[in-house]
Amino acid sequence: MRYISTRGAAPVLTFSEAMLTGLARDGGLYVPESVPQMSADEIAALAGLSYEEVAFRVMKPFCGESFSDDELKGAIARAYAGFGHVARAPLVQLAPGHFLLELFHGPTLAFKDFAMQVIGQLFQIELEKQGRKITIVGATSGDTGSAAIEAFRGLDNVDVFILFPHGRVSEVQRRQMTTPSEANVHALALDGDFDDCQGRLKDMFNHFEFRDEVGLAGVNSINWARVLAQVVYYFTAAVALGAPHRKISFTVPTGNFGDIFAGFIAREMGLPIEQLVIATNQNDILHRCLTTGRYEMDGVKPSISPSMDIQISSNFERALFWAYGKDGKAVAQLMDEMKAKGGFAVSQGALEALREIYASGRVSEQETSLTITEELARSGELLCPHSAVGVRVGHAHVSGATPMVTLATAHPAKFPDAVEAATGIRPPLPPRMADLFERSERVTRVPNDLAALEALITERRRA
């Protein structure tokens, strides 16, 4: 399997090279040259298998040339051993035809653990093979950061620097990033929003001298390996509800578009997905784009679902690559236009291609809160604000005989203030994290300045 850049002008790589590379050197994102297919029989055969076995069968065709069966099976087994639910990603029913996929039973209580735990294992295998050391820099609006720290803390051959927007993550999210005491972990509170964090990260990748000097690697969903591991739960959920004999739709609380794009890959592999519904909070650039055909930045607005406070939705570039018939030059032009003018128009043909697969909805702050209140009364499910955004949009898109699955992307205990304001209930953290508020914090406040960030990383990383 070969991996190519969405902008068409970077070296073609193997899976493990793409994984260690992160962002392509032409600024694009790596995607598989062709998507492996699973037949209806192969999909039907997934019924009743463990999450781990499904993960192996779904991931292997994408990375089998880089990792042996034993290596991949071992990585998957270790990745999910610490999850707090035997099903890993259990489904619960909210209403007739509407199901919730709980993706928050991992070590840091968000869906990021599903991919981050696996790629943590795969990185270790590959780095040991190559005898290499790397510097991981991640940008987070709250959840990717803690999941990355959990997956890479304490490793001798990896330093982890996490940029998060100062004052714009929940206290639980911040403490998950600032309380680990391992010397290879560095939490950096940046003066700016998530787009600034992600922007400076991409600047570092595009600064080749720095990138090569520190051995820069990325674990955001710009990294193809992250997306791949997230494809798996679309299969487990759909098969549990009758696929391949029945179509299934998914609603996904969306920010950086990585999670919903994993659903697109599952669909491309042959999973009968009818619709992928993008659910946004008031940072609704994707909803506006699908509605109007213009991708237009208008500034990040802080919300009660802070992990989705994003305007520059990185993985939308991968969706555009498909919508433009895999024309890397066209994608590069759109991205240049966005950089220069803060927006671009999607061509009519590409817009139609997107609308064939994706629908969308936007949820206001009040509606998010109301959904948390109403869903507790209706189904007994206590939602985090991100999942509430999804559930509201999901309810509105349930239609006909096709089951709708909404992804619950974080545990309500990560956002206790919003949940308490909506329900009067302050959800407790699991016992293993019960002392989170007593642990001492270690964090560095940093400016939104590339040179200053690179200097800090160069100084702190272990040679």
Ligand X SMILES: Cc1ncc(COP(=O)(O)O)c(C=O)c1O
Ligand Y SMILES: N[C@@H](CCOP(=O)(O)O)C(=O)O
Q: Catalytic amino acids?
A: 112
Contact in structure between 380 and 266 (CB atoms under 8 Å)? no
Among ligand Y, ligand X, none, residue 236 binds (CB under 5-8 Å by kind): none
Q: How far is the CB of 234 from ligand X (least distance, A)?
A: 13
Q: Which stretch binds ligand Y (CB under 6 A): 35-43, 90-98, 136-144, 316-324?
A: 136-144
Give the span between the Cα atoms of 164 and 188, in whole angstroms: 6
Using the rule CB under 6 A, is 221 a contact of ligand Y? yes
Residue 371 interacts with which of ligand X, ligand Y, none, CB < 5 to 8 Å by class: none
Give the nearest distance from C-beta 178 to ligand X in angstroms: 17
The H or E element containing residue 227 is helix 224-240
Of 255, 270, 328, 416, the one binding ligand Y (CB under 6 A) is 255
254 makes contact, choosing from ligand Y, ligand X, none, with CB < 5 to 8 Å by partner type, with: ligand X
Q: Is 258 in the site for ligand X (CB under 6 A)?
A: yes
Print the SS3 string covering 337-372. HHHHHCEEECCHHHHHHHHHHEEEEECCHHHHHHHH
What is the smallest separation between the CB atom of 44 and ligand Y, expressed in angstroms?
31
d(CA 198, CA 205): 11
Shortest Å, Cβ 102 to ligand X:
12
Which tokens belong to 376?
């507790």
Secondary structure element (H or E) that encloses residue 407, with its range: strand 404-408
Answer yes or no whether residue 142 interacts with ligand Y by CB under 6 A: yes
Nearer to ligand Y, 218 or 394 (CB): 218
Which residues make Cβ contacts (< 8 Å) with residue 292, sequence separation at least 6? none
Binding part of the chain for ligand X, among 248-256, 287-295, 365-373, 441-449 by CB under 6 A, reads 248-256
Determine which residue in the list 15, 257, 316, 321 makes contact with ligand X, applying CB under 6 A.
257
Q: Please state the closest distance from residue 246 (CB atom) to ligand X, in A.
A: 26
Cβ within 8 Å of residue 349, ≥6 positions away: 323
| Distance from chain centroid for Cα 348 | 28
Q: Is 258 in the site for ligand Y (CB under 6 A)?
A: yes
Q: How far is CA 213 from CA 9, 30, 110, 256, 459, in A?
A: 22, 22, 32, 28, 12
* 110 binds ligand X, rule: CB under 6 A: yes
> Which of 121, 135, 256, 371 forms a contact with ligand Y (CB under 6 A)?
256
Number of residues that bind ligand X (CB under 6 A): 15
Contact of residue 6 among ligand X, ligand Y, none (CB under 5-8 Å per partner type):
none
Q: Which is nearer to ligand Y, 43 or 103 (CB)?
A: 103
Any idea what DSSP says for residue 306? G
One of 121, 280, 305, 307 touching ligand Y (CB under 6 A): 307
Count other C-beta atoms under 10 Å from residue 17's C-beta: 15
Token duo for residue 93: 């029913």
Angle between helices 194-206 and 450-460 (to 10 degrees): 70
What is the maximum span of the chain, computed from C-alpha positions, in angstroms?
59
Burial 74-92 (b: 16+ CB within 10 A, else e): ebbeebbeebeeeebbbbe
Shortest CB 407 distance to ligand X, Å: 8
Q: How far is the CB of 225 from ligand Y (least distance, A)?
A: 12
Comparison of 139 and 330: residue with beta carbon closer to ligand X: 139
Please provide the DSSP assignment of 260-321 as one string.
Answer: HHHHHHHHHHT--EEEEEEEE-S--HHHHHHHHSEEE-------SSGGG--SS-TTHHHHHH
Indicate the SS3 state at residue 260.
helix
**CA atoms of 255 and 129, how far apart (whole Å):** 35
User: Which of ligand Y, ligand X, none has residue 409 at its interface (CB below 5 to 8 Å by kind)?
Assistant: ligand X
Q: Looking at 126, 143, 150, 274, which residue binds ligand Y (CB under 6 A)?
A: 143
The window from 27-35, 123-131, 163-171, 253-261 that contacts ligand X (CB under 6 A) reads: 253-261
For residue 162 the two structure tokens come to: 């996490």
How many residues in the shown chain lie near ligand Y by CB under 6 A?
Answer: 12
State the Cα–Cα distance between residues 141 and 306, nearest whole angstrom.
Answer: 7
Q: Angle, to 10 degrees, between the axis of helix 69-81 and the axis of helix 112-130?
A: 140
| Contacts (CB under 6 A) with ligand Y, residues 326-365 | none
Using CB under 6 A as the binding rule, whether residue 143 contacts ligand X is answered as: yes
Choose between 106 and 270: whose C-beta lies nearer to ligand Y.
106
Determine the interface stretch with ligand X among 182-190, 202-210, 249-257, 287-295 (rule: CB under 6 A). Answer: 249-257
Give the nearest distance from C-beta 386 to ligand Y in angstroms.
Answer: 8
Q: What are the beta bridge partners of residue 273?
A: 248
Provide the β-strand partners of residue 295: 344
**Does 199 participate in binding ligand Y (rule CB under 6 A)?**
no
Torsions phi, psi of 426, nearest 5? -100, 100
Candidate residues 318, 362, 386, 397; the one interacting with ligand X per rule CB under 6 A: 386
Select from 6, 21, 140, 251 the one that contacts ligand Y (CB under 6 A). 140
Query: Would you tell me which residues interact with ligand X (CB under 6 A)?
Result: 110, 143, 221, 253-259, 307-308, 386, 409-410
Query: Would you tell me which residues interact with ligand Y (CB under 6 A)?
Result: 140-145, 220-221, 255-256, 258, 307
